[in-house]
């Protein structure tokens, strides 16, 4: 009797172990078919499309090894591209979503999820949906198209959820550059300050980077310092804007644009491409930091920031005086008789 009892206990234990192994094996088999979120060969990715339920979307396309364009025209931020590709590469399944949470997760993805389409040269490679974070904020709900099981996805070693890495607002993908000129590589540069008539000049360059300096009437200056002009042009290697202007209504923006800009910069590249930036004084708003002087007298405009528009772009951007003020000079600054400060 005691012997039979021992056999029964052993049989039950073996049955439990066998059942557990079968469950692990079957669950692993299902997972293998559905856990394939990662893109291990990101070097072969040529296009990524992302869209959310609010109607925002971006299309990122690779035009060269490390160069990507946004929506077919604008350069895309290299840092954001690098992060996105690294994220696609490192995705790992933490666990499938249990039955108790299945409906809520699927509903959340269906109403607030981000659709991701990844393309290689031969066409679409992978489609999946990114949802919100898990309760512990360390996992992200994701769902492969045509799958039946959503998963909790994470990146090993990263503490946080992954949804913010899938950026769908086009403005967040833009490189915030106004000018990018390498080593004085330009054909001409015209700088106009309409509030200070003496601060108007044009710099021209030939293929050998021999610079000429012209006044407002086109008269060439003599005794020009090539070194001073070259040093000045280095400022244009990285001139960025701060943000897209969103603090004013469209009617206010239109009113600003209808006035003559108080400053302008026109830069022509060696290939003839013109990039012109117009700048206006920025009206104060509720977020303006310095609204009045020490005596309490209000400033007539924002003294820290201007608004600007790059011709050909509908967006109005915000730029800082700190960044742009050094670009507006008088011609005498480039002559051998006066130092460039």
Q: In this prediction, what percent of the chain has a pLDDT beyond 70?
A: 89
Cβ neighbours for 118, distance < 8 A, ≥ 6 positions apart: 39, 45, 47, 48, 88, 124, 125, 126, 127
> What totals of helices (H) and strands (E) does the chain contain, helices first?
6, 19
Residue 171 has pLDDT above 70, yes or no: yes
Looking at mean pLDDT, say which of 32-36, 146-150, 182-186, 213-217 comes out highest: 213-217
Q: What is the pLDDT of residues 32-71, one digit of tens each?
A: 556 689 999 999 999 999 999 999 999 999 998 778 999 9
**Alpha helices, H only, the chain:** 2-34, 78-90, 99-112, 226-233, 250-257, 321-324
d(C-alpha 181, C-alpha 235), whole Å:
9
CB-facing half-sphere around the CA of 293: CA atoms within 13 A: 5
Q: Is 54 exposed, middle or buried (0-12, 13-18, 19+ CB in 10 A)?
A: exposed
3-21 average pLDDT score: 45
**DSSP structure string for 310-325:** ETT----EEEEHHHHG
**Each residue's pLDDT tens digit, 62-90:** 998 778 999 998 889 988 999 999 999 99
Hey, what are 197's tokens?
Answer: 């008539």
What mean pLDDT is predicted for residues 20-40? 59
According to the model, what pLDDT value does residue 32 have? 58
Burial degree of 138 (CB within 10 A; 0-12, 13-18, 19+) = middle
3-state secondary structure of 39: coil
Q: Which two tokens stand for residue 292?
A: 């009045």
99-102 own/partner pairs: CB under 8 Å, 24+ apart: 102/150
Q: Residues 6 or more apart from 221 whose CB is under 8 A from it?
A: 213, 214, 215, 331, 334, 335
Per-residue pLDDT at 3 exceeds 60: no
Instruction: Convert 54-118 into a string of H (helix), E (strand) and C (coil).
Output: CCCEEEEEECCCCCEEECCCEEECHHHHHHHHHHHHHCEEEEECCHHHHHHHHHHHHHHCEEEEE
Distance CA 330, CA 191 (A): 10
pLDDT of res. 34:
63
Tokens 């202007």 -> residue: 245
* Own/partner long-range contacts of 287-290 (Cβ < 8 Å, ≥24 apart): 287/247
Judged against a pLDDT cut of 80, whether residue 15 lies above it is answered with no
Per-residue model confidence (pLDDT) at position 176: 87
Structure tokens at 323: 């960044």
pLDDT at 75 (0 to 100):
87
Q: How confident is the model at residue 197 (pLDDT cuts 50, 70, 90)?
A: confident
C-alpha 293: how far from its chain's center?
36
The mean pLDDT of the chain is: 88
Overall average pLDDT of the 181-210 stretch: 92
Does residue 4 or residue 245 have the better pLDDT? 245
Question: What pTM value is reported for the model?
Answer: 0.63
Burial group, residue 306, by CB count within 10 angstroms (0-12, 13-18, 19+) = buried
Pairing of strands 317-320, 305-310: antiparallel
- Name which of 24-28, 206-210, 298-302 the model is least confident about: 24-28
* φ, ψ at 35 (rounded to 5°): -90, 5
Question: Which regions of 218-326 does DSSP assign to beta strands (E)?
Answer: 239-240, 243-244, 263-268, 274-281, 305-310, 317-320
Q: For residues 56-93, b (16+ Cβ closer than 10 Å) or e, as one string?
A: eebbbbbeeeeebbbeeeebbbeebbeebbebbebbeb
Strands 211-214 vs 200-205: parallel, antiparallel or unpaired = antiparallel
Mean pLDDT over 82-109 rounds to 93
Neighbouring CB atoms inside 10 A of 297's CB total 8
Per-domain boundaries in the chain: 36-172, 177-334
User: 112 pLDDT exceeds 50?
Assistant: yes
């Amino acid at each position: 009797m005691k012997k039979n009892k021992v056999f029964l206990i052993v049989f039950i234990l073996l049955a439990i172990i066998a059942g557990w192994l079968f469950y692990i094996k079957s669950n692993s088999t299902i997972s293998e078919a559905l856990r394939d979120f990662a893109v291990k060969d990101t070097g072969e990715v040529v296009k990524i499309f992302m869209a959310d339920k609010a109607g925002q979307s971006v299309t990122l396309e690779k035009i060269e090894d490390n160069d990507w364009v946004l929506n077919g025209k604008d350069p895309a931020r290299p840092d954001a591209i690098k992060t996105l590709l690294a994220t696609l590469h490192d995705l790992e399944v933490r666990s499938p979503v249990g039955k108790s949470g299945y409906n809520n997760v699927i509903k959340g993805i269906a109403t607030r999820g981000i659709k991701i389409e990844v393309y290689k040269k031969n066409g679409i490679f992978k489609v999946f949906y990114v949802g919100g974070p898990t309760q512990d904020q360390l996992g992200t709900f994701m769902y492969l198209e045509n799958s039946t099981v959503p998963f909790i996805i994470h990146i090993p070693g990263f503490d946080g959820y992954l949804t913010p890495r899938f950026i769908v607002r086009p403005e967040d993908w833009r490189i915030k550059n106004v000018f990018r000129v390498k080593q004085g590589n330009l054909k001409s540069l015209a700088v106009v300050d309409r509030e200070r008539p003496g601060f108007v000049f044009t710099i021209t360059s030939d293929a050998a980077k021999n610079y000429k300096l012209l006044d407002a009437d086109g008269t060439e200056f003599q005794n020009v310092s090539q070194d001073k002009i070259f040093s000045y042009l280095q400022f244009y290697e990285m001139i960025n804007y701060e943000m897209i202007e969103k603090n004013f209504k469209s009617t206010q923006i239109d009113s600003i644009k209808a006035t003559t800009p108080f400053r302008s910069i026109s830069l022509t590249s060696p290939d003839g491409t013109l990039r012109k930036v117009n700048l206006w004084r920025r009206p104060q708003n509720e977020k303006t930091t310095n609204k009045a002087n020490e005596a309490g007298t209000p400033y007539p405009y924002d003294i820290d920031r201007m608004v600007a528009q790059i011709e050909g772009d509908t967006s109005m951007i915000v730029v800082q005086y700190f960044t742009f003020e050094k670009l507006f000079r008088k011609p005498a600054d480039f002559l051998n008789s006066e130092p460039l400060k």
